[in-house]
Chains A and B, each alone.
Chain A
């Protein structure tokens, strides 16, 4: 079995399995806990709508509360860049189609190249901010730095595929770097990709009940 065959076969299956089972385990760890029966009289009863609204409202910067402008603008930039590269780059869509049969239109390559540059620069800046800002230095632990590393790595290995090389090694490395990210995601802070919906919904719903501000 070549390295590429390994990356496309057992490594991919293993990483997807860890990703799915790990995330489900993490979510089960939350949802197995008791919910609270709230006997207070609600101010509003459209509680689910409040939860849903919070998911979207929290995508925008808070009103009337000072924010870390550079860090926030940078986070917008690399999250959007990441989404464009992962979901709208033609070779990625082709990979998903080969694996699952699902496909959707791609954005032009130049758009994804710009998105790649934005994401990589954004991640670099995010690290600089984390290493230099007193608050972030205090809060940061292994998870923050390793999550940063496994997010950047597929971009670095992906760059070696432009233009596509003749030998299979760089593609195998790219796939393995993605698989490392998938394996790590359920265990660390990258799981906020899923938890963000749970957390925002929970607060949005509870606070809507009271009429409190989110």
Chain B
């Protein structure tokens, strides 16, 4: 039976489990280790092998990680989060593996170590990639963590909440119960309530709009905002109930098959309606999953372009199609890691903010070096991660307060959710807003 989702707190996830089950399936410890290593090795391409060979144990990555920076606990050093997998690589798969095994220089990884590392790989890494900026060898640690999560999923060692929501997403099409039926009901309600048109299941459309379940369930005003903007732009668009959810908890949890299923649902829906553009929602990981990994899940180039909504708005602003009333306010912008630093679209929201005419007040270390909100990579779903996630959030509060900006915006609903949770926890007097909704409010 599925865990019940708690919609009565600022952070939407399953209710705190009375008994945690952080281990899935029946298997011996040896089988779990074997599966973990097999899945990890399956993804061991040239790039990952280069990284595995290249760490010089300098520790610079520690300073870049919000979980280390706010705790001072060395176990949160990003590269340490991969230690069992580094050990296993050297012992089983590296160029000198035979030497390590023969001389007994590296011990075989145990299921106990994998269980111990679950907290480091899931609760303590948002895969924000800030550590890569600090690494003098340029190791993409976040990419390796994603790969290690494949191993952990295969071993059946995924944290309770994350497995629960990912499994629900695979089964129902949404991690938060935003099933096609719920989506239809929400859309009908929003159309009546706000007198907008949200076209569902059109057989053909230039733009297919995808959503985050967080938007559907917590921030439905985002759909209204998008509908108003797309109306002004004269777009022929649709939302397809056979492929609308873009957040991809398969990616978070480490199940490559689920990641592929979730991506293919959306891709097939886009192809079915002959879309020229697939519009991704205000969601960071959705961008990474579809913009940079979607075609690889599909196995060939996608027959449409993939844009984050901030890129779509920036393009419309650049072409003079987006007509806006100026917003006379100071705003600071929180960069979603997967869209900016890791996605390459750092400038898009800034173009949109410039089109809005706001006074943009950048945070200390803005843009590509921005600190993560602490909730990415599925961390915000985990109850047991709350304490150190909140600690990490204190960095964001200080950053925001340093700007003195009146308003705070982002273009990721998961970041927004994390900010809402942080705001409630700290009784903070700042409220995160959506860039999309700021734009919709200023349509001329």
Residues of A participating in the B interface, judged by any CB pair closer than 8 Å: 25-26, 28-31, 33-41, 43, 54, 58, 62-68, 71-72, 75, 133-144, 187, 189, 191-192, 195-196, 198-200, 202-204, 206-207, 210-214
Tell me whether B63 and A66 are in contact (CB under 8 A). Answer: yes
| B65-82 interface with A by 8 A CB criterion | 68-69, 72, 74-75, 77, 79-80
Interface size class of B (residues with CB under 8 A): 35 or more
A42, chain B: closest CB distance, angstroms: 10
Tell me whether A33 and B138 are in contact (CB under 8 A). Answer: no
Can you name 30 A-B pairs with beta carbons within 8 Å? Answer: A25-B95, A25-B96, A30-B53, A36-B47, A39-B300, A41-B295, A41-B302, A41-B305, A41-B306, A64-B133, A64-B364, A65-B130, A66-B64, A67-B60, A71-B60, A133-B59, A135-B59, A135-B68, A139-B59, A140-B57, A196-B54, A199-B54, A200-B138, A203-B138, A210-B342, A210-B344, A211-B343, A212-B341, A212-B342, A213-B133
Indicate which residue in A28, A206, A214 contacts B47 across the interface (CB closer than 8 Å).
Answer: A206
Indicate which residue in B46, B300, B306, B368 contacts A31 across the interface (CB closer than 8 Å).
Answer: B46
Q: How far is the CA of A202 from the CA of B79 in the complex (A)?
A: 18
Asked if B134 CB lies within 8 Å of chain A CBs, one says yes
B367, chain A: closest CB distance, angstroms: 8
Which A-chain residue is minimally distant from B105 (CB atoms)?
A: A142
B443, chain A: closest CB distance, angstroms: 28
Q: 16 other contacts beyond A40-B294, A43-B344, A213-B340, with CB at 8 A cut-off?
A: A25-B95, A29-B95, A35-B47, A41-B295, A41-B306, A64-B365, A65-B133, A65-B369, A68-B60, A71-B60, A136-B57, A136-B58, A189-B56, A202-B46, A212-B342, A212-B343
Tell me whether B96 and A39 are in contact (CB under 8 A). Answer: no
Q: How far is the CA of A206 from the CA of B344 in the complex (A)?
A: 11
Tell me whether A200 and B56 are in contact (CB under 8 A). Answer: no
Residues of B participating in the A interface, judged by any CB pair closer than 8 Å: 44-47, 49-51, 53-60, 62-64, 68-69, 72, 74-75, 77, 79-80, 94-96, 99, 105, 129-130, 132-134, 136-140, 291-296, 298-302, 305-306, 340-346, 364-369
Tell me whether B365 and A54 are in contact (CB under 8 A). Answer: no
Tell me whether B60 and A134 are in contact (CB under 8 A). Answer: no
Tell me whether B344 and A196 are in contact (CB under 8 A). Answer: no
Indicate which residue in A36, A71, A133 contacts B45 across the interface (CB closer than 8 Å).
Answer: A36
Sorted nearest first, the 8 A-B pairs with minimum C-beta distance are: A211-B344, A29-B95, A64-B369, A213-B368, A39-B295, A203-B138, A64-B365, A135-B59
B412, chain A: closest CB distance, angstroms: 16
B46, chain A: closest CB distance, angstroms: 5
Consensus secondary structure, chain A interface: helix
Q: How far is the CA of A39 from the CA of B79 in the complex (A)?
A: 29
Which B-chain residue is minimally distant from A28 (CB atoms)?
A: B95
B380, chain A: closest CB distance, angstroms: 23
B79, chain A: closest CB distance, angstroms: 7
Q: Quick one: given A63-B369, A196-B137, are A40 and B293 in contact (CB under 8 Å)? A: yes
Q: How far is the CA of A36 from the CA of B294 in the complex (A)?
A: 14
B53, chain A: closest CB distance, angstroms: 6
Most chain A CB within 10 A, of B45, B298, B344, is at B344
A202, chain B: closest CB distance, angstroms: 5
Tell me whether A134 and B49 are in contact (CB under 8 A). Answer: no
Contacts of B298 in A (CB 8 A): 39
Q: How far is the CA of A187 from the CA of B54 in the complex (A)?
A: 12
Which B-chain residue is minimally distant from A143 (CB atoms)?
A: B57
Q: How far is the CA of A138 from the CA of B74 in the complex (A)?
A: 7
Contacts of A71 in B (CB 8 A): 58-60
Q: How far is the CA of A72 from the CA of B57 in the complex (A)?
A: 13
Q: Quick one: given A58-B136, A136-B59, A200-B137, are A35 and B45 in contact (CB under 8 Å)? A: yes
